[in-house]
Amino acid sequence: MRETPGVIIKSKFKVPGTKKKSRRYTTYLDYINRPDAKDSREQFETYHNYMEDEMKSSGLFTREDDRLDDEKRRAVRDIFKHAQANGSILWQDVISFDNAWLREIGVLHDDLVDEKRLIQSTRNAIDSMLQKEKMVHAYWTGAVHYNTDNIHVHVAIVETSHMRERGKRKPKSIELMKSKVIHSLADRTKEQEKLNAFIRDELVAHKRNRKISTLPNRVLHPELVRQFKDIYERLPEDKRQWLYNMNGMQPLRESLDRLTDRYIDIHFKSEFQAFNERLEQEVSFHRRSYGDTEKAERYRTTKRQDLYTRMGNAILSEMRDLSKEQATCEKNEARKHPVRRAFKQQKIFNESLYRIERHMNDEFEHLKNQRAFEQLERDIEYGK
């Protein structure tokens, strides 16, 4: 299902013309700068007086200037003329807006247009696209038009040197332009920060500071602890795999997600409800702005997956700590038992050695006494 998008971008390109069509590029500049493109009495009656003021008329704008005087306009025409002569392709983009969407985000109010925001959003979009396409030597100009049912911006781009031969740009580059336009005009940073803050600063931080396998949880939340132990006992032997997105964790991810759900239900039930409400608002914004339900659903899936991934890794971190503690205890016990056994063995050995030594000493003394007695008898026998 698709809705009317808030923003649509259409793109095409032209190769340099022959001598017969040498004015092709500069005439395009004349077209996008023509007076009838700047006003429509039927669509913007209350805007007519505003547009009559020459200082506030649309006209051409560039990366550096919101308005071009005659001298700068001639300089731009010369840049495009030389680009064509040198073989540059001419890229033509049209950024078209749903006027109702512009009203929703406050760019269009009582038929007055915040043109500065339109111009700046165009700059952000074109600069991002050129970086992604690595069009280092590109030069562009644009103009806001009001001559159709939808306000739109015409953009013309050429390369002043190192011209590329192919005019086709990557679809992701055009998508990036669209994304930059949308988020420049409707800044959702604060709303998205609230979503991220719940995941990282509240939920995950709470988990890191409170272990699941504690005595209070065993008493109050035994099912939570049981789930924890069940996963722990099924972890891969290779501890390098103990990260949520590692291949070795694939069989356990569903169990980890259920443990996360249980943890949230116990500690963050109301906060999670508020999180889901904010998330649905962002999904709705994506659907309205891009006109694409699939893209909006991907946003929801991505944000939820971020929650489960971060919580899963926090839980696995506790499991790694638990594994280290158990290994240390086992190592200490393994040390204690051999030492105790060795001590006992050494004691027995020493006692045996002592007894042997005493016996030998006794035997030696007895032997000395026996020899002395026998010598005495011999002495008496021979009359010594």
Q: Are 90 and 84 in contact (CB under 8 A)?
A: yes
The model's confidence at residue 295, banded by pLDDT at 50, 70 and 90, is confident
Q: Are 3 and 287 in contact (CB under 8 A)?
A: yes
pLDDT at 180: 95
pLDDT at 49: 31
Report, as an integer, the average pLDDT of 337-356: 50
Between the CA of residue 279 and those of 181, 193, 337, what are the distances in Å? 21, 11, 57
Q: Are 151 and 97 in contact (CB under 8 A)?
A: yes
Which residue type does 192 have? Q
Residues 6+ apart with CB under 8 A from 208: 314, 317
Q: Are 320 and 242 in contact (CB under 8 A)?
A: yes
Distance of alpha carbon 19 from alpha carbon 245, whole angstroms: 59
pLDDT at 369: 57
Mean pLDDT of the chain: 81
pLDDT in tens, 179-202: 999 999 998 888 889 999 999 999
Q: What percent of the chain has pLDDT over 90?
A: 48
pLDDT at 333: 63
179 CB-contact burial (10 Å; exposed 0-12 / middle 13-18 / buried 19+): middle
Q: Is 140 left (phi over 0), alpha (psi -120 to 50) or beta?
A: beta
192 CB-contact burial (10 Å; exposed 0-12 / middle 13-18 / buried 19+): middle
Q: Which of 52-56, 155-159, 325-329 has the lowest mean pLDDT?
A: 52-56
pLDDT in tens, 30-39: 656 655 554 4
